[in-house]
Every structure is written in structure tokens, then in C-alpha cells.
Amino acid sequence: MNVLHDLGEARRWLDEERRRGHRLGFVPTMGSLHDGHRSLLRRAAATSDVSVASIFVNPLQFGPDEDLDSYPRSLETDLAMARDERIDGVIVPSTEAMYPEPMKTLVRVEQLSTGLESLSRPTHFDGVTTVVAKLFNLVGPCSAFFGEKDYQQLAQIRRMVSDLSFPVEVIGCPTVREPDGLALSSRNAYLDGPQRAAATVLSRALTAGIEMIAGGESSPAAVEQVMAATVRHEPLAELDYAAVRDPATLDELDTIADRVRLLIAARIDTTRLIDNADGRHSLGEYSDET
């Protein structure tokens, strides 16, 4: 497996692979890889001639009070997982290589929706779309794999790719969960025992919403209230939002008709967690809505 710290070297390698007619599969990550990432790596390796991942903790997508410095980093075990999954190359750029100068150019997808992540993390998605645009320019035409766990991020990236005509096929992959329902996230590493137990409240709230919809509830507000009440019953959790949205646009819905996405964010002590689900399927059942 190639481990490339130099962006020029990475570009030359990938250009050469494409020249040979090879189709590239790309998995951008911030490292601290877990089984959710493993599923993306596995899919990229299985469906591409050449698979490549990137590991870069992107300062641009962290707010001033967020966890950039403490964000978990585990390069050696990350590389071992990539090797295990038969990834052909991992790009590990330095911050100086990615941002040699303070950025004057940002890629912003104008508000796809109100509220959700943008409310508490107003600059986050500009940082995500900007770094993903840079990475797409580096890697070139490819299929790129993202987890549905970051559903709003996935929607923003799809929109950016469409608006700016990136020669990239974006593939959303289902969220991977612990047996008790907790969605895998690098930030789960911050949780101690009682917090880890409390964190299942996000998936429990999604399940409560899904069950209401299955029972015929068509009012988004009623479903949101039940999801919110589930979180409020958990003493260690503080709700950020519980939302019922259109899966493609993330717009608010007047009524729950066919396709519907449930999204939730809550703080477990100081750790902010997000989760989401297709409102028409129980958790863990595969859906492909975006």
C-alpha cells in the first residue's frame, strides 16, 4: 500500500493509474477509523480498480470552540485498517501542504435547509465542502464514498458536485451501528461508561419516531416532539434538534407522505453526537434515499 504524504506524488500516481484506464474509488476521512469507515474502504476496494483513502484532520471545518486539538488521531492503526481492506494508497497530507497560505477561497453550498447542523456549527460545512473540493481536484475523476451518518454533509457534497460539475460519482453508504444501536463515530471515544450508555438515546429517539410513522402518524411536529421527549428523559443528554425532513432537500415537511428522513443531534455531557434514519425503515435496515 502506498502511503503518500506529498500531494504532487499522490497526483502523479493517480494520474498514471487513470492513464492506464483504471477506475478510482476514493474514501476521504479524518482518520480515527472505525468499522463505519471500514465499510466505506471495503466498498471502495470491491468496486474500483484502484482504491485510495485520505486521512486529514481538516482545521477549516472546526469552529473556534470545537475539538480540533483533541480530535482523536491514530495514524498507525488507521493505516493497518486500510491495509487490511486492501486499499492501494492512503494520502496523508500535512496542514501546510493542504493550506500553504490562509484560504481566500471557500466553497459554500448555500443553505440547503434551515437549522440542523448549520445552526450550532455555522462555518462547518464551508470547511467540509472546501476541503472535499480540494481533495476531489487532487484525486481527479473517481467514485467517492461517504457515510450516511453525516447525512447533511452528504447532501451538501452531492449538491456541490452537481453545481460545480465535479467528475465524481458520490456514493452514500449506510450507517454502521453498535449492537445497542449507537451509530459509530470517532467522537464515541470521548464517552465514559455512563455517557456511553446514555448515548443510545439518539438511536432510541429515532426508533420512537420510526415506530410512530409506521403506526400511521403523519404530523412532522408530533414525531419531532416524541423524539425530543425521548432525549429529554435521559438525564445526561441535552437535545440540540430533532427534525423530520425531506430526504433529498432536507426541507421541512408539512405532512409525512412517502419518503422522510429523521435527524437528531444531542450533547452527552460535552460530546456532541448526531444520527439520522430513514423514517420508513427500522434502524439497520438498508435504505438509499439521498
Strands (DSSP E) contained in 104-236 are 142-147, 168-173
Give the shortest CB-37-to-ligand PAF separation in angstroms: 8
Q: Residues 37, 124, 233, 281: which is the catalytic one?
A: 37
Q: Name the residue nearer to ligand PAF (CB basis): 61 or 143.
A: 61
Cα–Cα distance list, 174 to 29, 140, 152, 285, 287 (Å): 16, 24, 14, 9, 7
CB of residue 265 vs ligand PAF: minimum separation in angstroms? 15
52 exposure class (CB count in 10 Å sphere: 0-12, 13-18, 19+): buried
d(CA 47, CA 187): 29
**Quick check: helix, strand or coil at residue 118?**
helix
Closest of 9, 242, 290 to residue 145, by C-alpha:
290
**Between 52 and 228, whose beta carbon lies closer to ligand PAF?**
52
Contact residues for ligand PAF, defined by CB under 6 A: 28-30, 58, 61, 128, 131-132, 150, 153
Smaller CB separation from ligand PAF, 53 or 231: 53
Q: How far is the CB of 28 from ligand PAF (least distance, A)?
A: 4
Complex with ligand PAF: residue 13 or 62, whichever CB lies closer:
62
Three-class SS of residue 196?
Answer: helix
The residue length of the chain stands at 290
Nearest-approach distance from CB 104 to ligand PAF, in angstroms: 19
Our answer to whether residue 5 is catalytic in this structure is: no
- Rounded to whole angstroms, the Cα distance separating 285 from 280 reads 10
- 131 vs 244, beta carbon nearer ligand PAF: 131
- Cβ at position 221, least distance to ligand PAF in Å: 30
Strand segments (E) across the chain: 2-4, 24-29, 50-55, 89-91, 142-147, 168-173, 237-245, 261-268, 271-278
Q: Which residues pair with 28 in a beta bridge?
A: 54
Query: Annotated catalytic sites, by residue?
Result: 37
